[in-house]
Structures are given as C-alpha cells and as structure tokens.
Amino acid sequence: MAILMQIDLPGVEKEQYEQLSARVRSGEIPAEGCLAHVAIPTDDGVRIIDLWESRAAMDAFNTRLMPVAVELGFPPSPAPPQVTEVHGYWVPGA
C-alpha cells in the first residue's frame, strides 16, 4: 500500500539539501519505490514530502540515506516523520 511521508527538518540548509539530493538523483543512493518527492523551504529549514509505493521501500531508502545525511552534517530531526496510508493516487500523463 502506498504511503505519504512528511517531515520537517529544521536547521537543514539549502546547500546541504542540494548535496544530498544530487547523490540521490545520481543513483548513488537508490530511491527505489519513490513515486514522488517534494522539498519545500521553511523559515528554519526544509519540509520533505514523499509518496512511496510502500513503507518497506521508504524504510530501505532511509537506511541508505541516513549515513550520508549525517556525513553532510544534517542535524537530527526533532520529530519522526508523519506517515499516512494513501487511499489512491494518480500521476498525470502516466
């Protein structure tokens, strides 16, 4: 079942996000099962919203992602992500 994940990351700077995002987009950190990703600047960091094909796919990605985020100096998130089961979704043109 698809899930929507949202997390606020205060203290993350645009440059840090761009560095991590580049490593994901290059395939160095595979994002298998990610259906959509959105990053929104906030007053004190960034908000991430992802649509995943399953919780297992998201968890596997996070296992690969977190060591790199720590390497890039991402501060720990003050709260866990909000994860919600998705009833349905569609992608225009797909």
Distance from C-alpha of 52 to C-alpha of 64, rounded to nearest angstrom: 15
Q: Where are the domains of the chain?
A: 3-85
Question: Has domain 3-85 been given CATH number 3.90.1150.10?
Answer: no
- 7-52: per-residue pLDDT in tens? 999 999 999 999 999 999 999 999 999 999 999 999 999 999 999 9
Two structure tokens written together for 83: 């994860």
Q: What is the pLDDT of residue 91?
A: 83
- Residue 94: band (very low, low, confident or very high) from pLDDT cuts 50, 70, 90: confident
Phi-psi map region of 73: left, alpha, beta (phi>0 left; psi -120 to 50 alpha): left
State the Cα–Cα distance between residues 2 and 86, nearest whole angstrom. Answer: 5
Smallest Cα–Cα separation from 31: which of 4, 53, 9, 6? 53
